[in-house]
Amino acid sequence: MSTLSPKRAEELLVLAANPNPASRTALFKDLSGTMLGTRTALSQAEAALMTSILQKLVSNIAEEVRMDLASSVAANTNAAPELVHLIINDKIDIAKIILNSNTFVPDADLIEVIHHKSTAHQLAIALRRNISMDVSDALVDTGNSEVIATLLNNKTAAIREATRDFLIDQAKSLDVYQRPMVRRDDLTAKQMLTLYGCIADTLKQELITRYCETYPELVEKLKMAPIKPLKKAQETSESAGNLTNAERVALTLQKEGQLTHDLLLKVLQSGEYMLFEAFYAQLAQLPLEKMRQILLNDQSDLLAISAKAIRLSGVQFIEMNSLLQQRKNPKKRLNSDEQYRMLRYFESLNNHSAVSTLLHWKNQDGADA
């Protein structure tokens, strides 16, 4: 392991402070070159110092220099991980050189990019080979239908069973998920049956053909007694003229991939409660009346289960719960102990169980925990 002397470290910091573009570019190339092929040669302190300097320099370095570095890293299996992290957080034209390659990137770094960078970054990650269940969950949590459809089309992506359950339920109102879901090879028998009941007729034969060897008995039954397509809840309501204006807005936003968790909280914060109810019902794929039962119920546990099922974060759930409690009783403020209890309960919930409970509520007359 190499050792960076205090004198050399001080020299590097002085060079980094030099405003001359040529000097900065030379230093950038020098440090990044040192970090290429030195995955284990640098000490933690050395890597931290060099990374800190590169982060300060990168915004002032010409794009072609950064692209050259990205190409070098993509072709080098021994590049320091800090260098990989720096590149994937750059603008997409540079980041995609790594994201589109087979370069190893830790899940934590990919999830950080999903949370903080652009949709283009998310799409590039959704196309990576052999992404893990945790990364897939983070992509689904974006709520962006284009990103999620891209993920579903990636047959090498590992997708948790509970997440597939959630997306199959979403496919009942989002046609864009149907074909990619049909073409996956990881559906359980129950998921295949559920999907068969809600997809377009043109896709049913494709689904049967794909799974005829995996679930031969089930496929044979489907051939002999085809399941009639389930009517989408929205179509049923629309044909009866029962959709409210808020529900129409929610349905349109979801079809366009714009119905996000942030938007849900924003309309609640602004006092647009009817829109909030409709948006929440659409995200949870529950009839509006059943969603109202949950929201009006004094048990915050029911709200926590529904929030976990639609993949709100802990922070988002606490904010939503606080706003709803204030709406019920403007004088009431949740104290820190109550908020902590609710957060602990929310974090203890399993997403798969929450989704199952939500589906159970959908088929009941009322919402019972």
Comparing 249-253, 282-286, 358-362, the range with the smallest average pLDDT is 358-362
Confidence at residue 41, expressed as pLDDT on a 0 to 100 scale:
66
Residue 136 near residue 151, CB atoms below 8 Å: yes
Nearest Cα to Cα of residue 149 among 128, 175, 169, 129: 175
In sequence order, what are the residues at sequence separation of 6 or more whose Cβ sits closer than 8 angstroms to the Cβ of residue 25?
A: 61, 62, 65
By the 10 Å C-beta count (0-12 exposed, 13-18 middle, 19+ buried), 7 is classed as exposed
**Hey, what are 124's tokens?**
């590039």
The Cα-based distances of 45 to 4, 48, 49, 52 in angstroms read 9, 5, 6, 11
For 9, other C-beta atoms within 10 Å of its C-beta total 15
How confident is the model over 281-289, as a mean pLDDT?
Answer: 90
The whole-number pLDDT of residue 8 equals 65
pLDDT of residue 55: 87
Give the pLDDT of residue 326.
83
Structure tokens at 157: 């992506």
pLDDT digits (tens, 9 = 90+) for 308-343: 999 999 899 999 988 888 887 776 666 778 888 888
User: What is the per-residue pLDDT across 97-126, written as a single tens digit (0 to 9) for each?
Assistant: 999 998 899 999 999 999 999 999 999 999
> What's the pLDDT at 49?
85
Q: What is the pLDDT of residue 51?
A: 87
Q: Which of 13, 99, 97, 89 is nearest to 58 (CA)?
A: 89
**pLDDT for residue 134:** 94
Alpha helix ranges (H) inside 36-144: 44-57, 63-74, 81-88, 92-99, 107-116, 119-126, 133-141
CA 128 centroid distance within chain: 15
Is-contact 79 36, C-beta < 8 A? yes
| Range scoring the smallest mean pLDDT among 2-16, 40-54, 148-162 | 2-16
Torsion-angle region of 241 (φ positive above 0: left; ψ -120 to 50: alpha; else: beta)? left
The whole-chain average pLDDT of the chain stands at 85
The least confident of 11-20, 165-174, 291-300 is 11-20
Q: Report which of residues 122 and 232 the model is more confident about.
A: 122
| Per-residue tokens: 41 | 């040669």
pLDDT digits (tens, 9 = 90+) for 60-99: 899 999 999 999 999 988 888 999 999 999 999 999 999 9
What does the alpha-carbon distance between residue 186 and residue 180 come to, in Å, rounded to a whole number?
A: 12
C-alpha–C-alpha distance, residues 168 and 191, integer Å: 8
Percent of the chain at pLDDT exceeding 90:
41
User: What is the b/e burial string over 329-351, where b = at least 16 CB atoms within 10 angstroms of the residue's CB?
Assistant: eeeeebeeeeeeebbeebeebeb
Question: What is the Cα–Cα distance from 114 to 87, expressed in whole angstroms?
Answer: 14
Average pLDDT over residues 201-226: 85
How far is 184 from 155, CA to CA, in rounded Å? Answer: 6
Mean pLDDT of all residues in 201-209? 89
Whether 227 has a pLDDT exceeding 60, the answer reads: no
Sequence-distant (6+) residues with CB within 8 A of 21 are 60
